[in-house]
């Protein structure tokens, strides 16, 4: 269907766009709360609330930007270019020290974070939506996301490890802690800006697959999204995304607290923990891709997530109170992270073809926006929960040593709680009906439908909500 096979250079150019998204995302989720609590001296519960508000606001803008991007061909590439500079600038402001009391800090960090996430969405929605337009081949999409996941492992290291290493180096030269964080955010913001430009140039050389008459034809945004939400596979995809993202954001936000207050290690040890996480990405991303192409992505996720959850429970039994234990837990966390980020948008792309079959229209932007909204909603809940957990556990940033109950509670958050969230995601994926075999049946039926030929929906009952059948689409039993 269309220009499905791409040159490696084209896949590499598109896949490298993950760097812009990942370095900013990972620095924010790893350090924003601890910057607020330990540098800006914001109350932990209030810091979690700032994160919740800003990320939920970003989630609200996802559907709007997704709908807008679908309205005109070529708009997606323009949007991601437009977003580059303001996204970087407001990211830097989110790590800028302010003085003047709790109200001023709350307003400043909430507004700057909200604006960062707004322009972040203007980049990521078009970027990921274009992945459904550069190819419609199931395995090619899996390979592209696998390549992107491999590149992402290095981007994660930059976003997670570089800030604290740079802050330590700058403070060693006599620069204040607050200014060191600002300079660190400035460098990460520059990296993010640069890769947006690189991605934009690489996308200009790829011919996009677009079905005739497939642009959004009506302005009712609510109707657009309700049609997508009613797709049968979407309900399980929702559960999968939200529960994994809650666990993922808590894992990132809790890591430095785990290192300092449970394992009793220097904060700089986070660099070694992130190396272990990256090793997990590098090892398990190609394994996930291999499983996804040999069987399907659904099977790959269930296997990898189950391994990760089991490892977390084992680590709780052992105790995460040493350097070796922190490294082991980080590696185990990397299993599910590699599986999720290596396949996430490929799952969303499958819904594009299901939507086209059911509703007769292609909406790459809207269908990318909904999962991204759910991703951010889950991540925002995770950050909020982290702030609430810290408050409930009695965490006090002014104390050099936390109570035994607080230290054990921090460990339980990163093990038992995260394992539970991960296993719920496994259950949702078990119920998710889009297998590779069914998708290939759908692809053949859709090609015949668009060519005006007789086609069958037999075997697609779990994918297609017949109550939402597009006008003129015959029932399965009337096809043959």
pLDDT tens digits along 289-339:
889 888 889 999 999 999 999 999 999 999 999 999 999 999 999 999 989
pLDDT for 156: 80
pLDDT for 74: 56
> How buried is 331 (Cβ within 10 angstroms: 0-12 exposed, 13-18 middle, 19+ buried)?
buried
pLDDT of 1 higher than 80: no
The number of helices, as runs of H, and strands, as runs of E, in the chain is: 16, 0
**Residue 412: φ, ψ to 5°:** -65, -35
pLDDT of 62 higher than 80: no
pLDDT for 331: 94
Q: Among the listed ranges 146-155, 172-181, 278-287, which one has the minimum average pLDDT value?
A: 146-155
Stretch 343-369: mean pLDDT: 82
* Average pLDDT of the chain, as a whole number: 83
Stretch 49-63: mean pLDDT: 78
Stretch 124-141: mean pLDDT: 75
Stretch 253-273: mean pLDDT: 88
pLDDT for 472: 43
Stretch 412-438: mean pLDDT: 93
pLDDT for 265: 92
pLDDT of 470 higher than 70: no
Q: How far is CA 448 from CA 137, 223, 323, 442, 456, in A?
A: 16, 27, 58, 10, 9
pLDDT for 219: 58
pLDDT of 479 higher than 50: no
Half-sphere exposure of 283 (CA within 13 A, CB side): 13
* Percent residues over pLDDT 70 in the chain: 89
**Domain 8-208+220-446: which topology?**
Growth Hormone; Chain: A; (1.20.1250)
| 3-state DSSP helix/strand/coil % of the chain, to nearest 5 | 80, 0, 20
Of the two residues 154 and 5, the one the predictor is more confident about is 154
Half-sphere exposure of 385 (CA within 13 A, CB side): 22
Rounded-to-integer distance, Cα 464 and Cα 230, Å? 10
Q: What are the tens digits of pLDDT across the range 186-234? A: 999 999 999 988 888 877 766 666 544 445 444 567 777 788 888 888 8
- Cβ atoms of residues 441 and 296 within 8 Å: no
Stretch 237-248: mean pLDDT: 93
Strand, helix or coil at 400?
coil
**324, two tokens:** 């070796």
Half-sphere exposure of 61 (CA within 13 A, CB side): 19
Stretch 446-467: mean pLDDT: 79
Stretch 330-356: mean pLDDT: 87
What is the chain's Cα-based Rg?
A: 22
**26, two tokens:** 């990972």
pLDDT for 154: 81
**364-392 and 404-412 helices cross at what angle (nearest 10)?**
160
Q: Among the listed ranges 58-72, 158-172, 378-392, 423-437, which one has the minimum average pLDDT value?
A: 58-72
What are the b/e assignments for 19-52, b being 16+ CB within 10 Å?
bbbbbbbbbbbbbbbbbbbbbbebbbebbbbbbb
pLDDT of 473 higher than 60: no
Of the two residues 414 and 281, the one the predictor is more confident about is 414
Q: Which among 390, 381, 429, 51 has a CA at the least distance from the CA of 248? A: 381
pLDDT for 467: 45
Query: pLDDT grade, residue 139 (50/70/90)?
Result: confident
């Amino acid at each position: 269907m269309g220009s499905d096979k791409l040159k490696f250079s084209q896949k590499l150019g598109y896949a490298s766009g993950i760097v812009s998204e990942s370095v900013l995302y990972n620095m924010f989720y790893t350090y924003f709360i601890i910057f607020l609590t330990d540098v800006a001296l914001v109350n932990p519960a209030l810091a979690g609330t700032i994160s919740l508000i800003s990320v939920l606001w970003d989630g609200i803008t996802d559907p709007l930007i997704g709908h807008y991007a679908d309205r005109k061909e070529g708009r997606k590439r323009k949007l991601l270019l437009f977003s580059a500079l303001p996204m970087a600038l407001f990211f830097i402001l989110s790590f800028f020290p302010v003085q003047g009391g709790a109200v001023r800090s709350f307003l400043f960090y909430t507004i700057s974070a909200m604006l960062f996430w707004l322009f972040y969405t203007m980049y990521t929605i078009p970027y990921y939506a274009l992945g459904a337009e550069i190819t419609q081949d199931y395995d090619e999409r899996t390979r592209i996301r696998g390549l992107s996941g491999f590149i992402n492992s290095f981007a994660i290291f930059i976003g997670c490890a570089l800030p604290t290493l740079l802050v330590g180096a700058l403070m060693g030269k006599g620069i204040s802690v607050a200014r060191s964080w600002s300079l660190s955010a400035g460098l990460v913001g520059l990296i993010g800006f640069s890769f947006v430009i690189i991605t934009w140039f690489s996308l200009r050389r790829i011919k996009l697959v677009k079905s005739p008459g497939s642009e959004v034809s009506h302005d009712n945004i609510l109707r657009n999204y309700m049609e997508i939400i009613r797709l049968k596979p979407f309900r399980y995809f929702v559960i999968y995304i939200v529960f994994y993202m809650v666990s993922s954001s808590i894992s990132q936000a809790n890591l430095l607290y785990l290192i300092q207050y449970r394992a009793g290690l220097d904060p700089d040890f986070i660099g070694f923990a992130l190396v272990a996480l990256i090793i997990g990405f590098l090892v398990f991303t190609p394994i996930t891709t291999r499983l996804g192409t040999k069987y399907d992505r659904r099977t790959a996720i269930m296997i990898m997530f189950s391994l990760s959850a089991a490892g977390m429970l084992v680590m709780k039994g052992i105790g995460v109170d040493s350097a070796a234990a922190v490294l082991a837990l980080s590696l185990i966390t990397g299993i599910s992270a590699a599986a999720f980020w290596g396949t996430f948008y490929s799952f969303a792309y499958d819904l594009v073809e299901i939507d086209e079959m059911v509703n007769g229209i292609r909406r790459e932007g809207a269908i990318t926006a909904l999962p991204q909204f759910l991703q951010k909603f889950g991540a925002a809940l995770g950050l909020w929960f982290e702030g609430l957990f810290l408050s409930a556990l009695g965490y006090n940033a002014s104390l050099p040593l936390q109570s035994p109950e607080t230290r054990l509670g921090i460990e339980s958050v990163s093990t038992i709680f995260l394992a539970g969230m991960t296993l719920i995601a496994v259950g949702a994926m078990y119920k998710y009906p889009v297998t590779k075999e069914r998708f290939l049946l759908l692809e053949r039926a859709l090609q015949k439908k668009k060519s005006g030929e007789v086609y069958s929906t037999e075997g697609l009952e779990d994918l297609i909500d017949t109550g939402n059948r597009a006008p003129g689409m015959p029932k399965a039993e009337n096809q043959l």
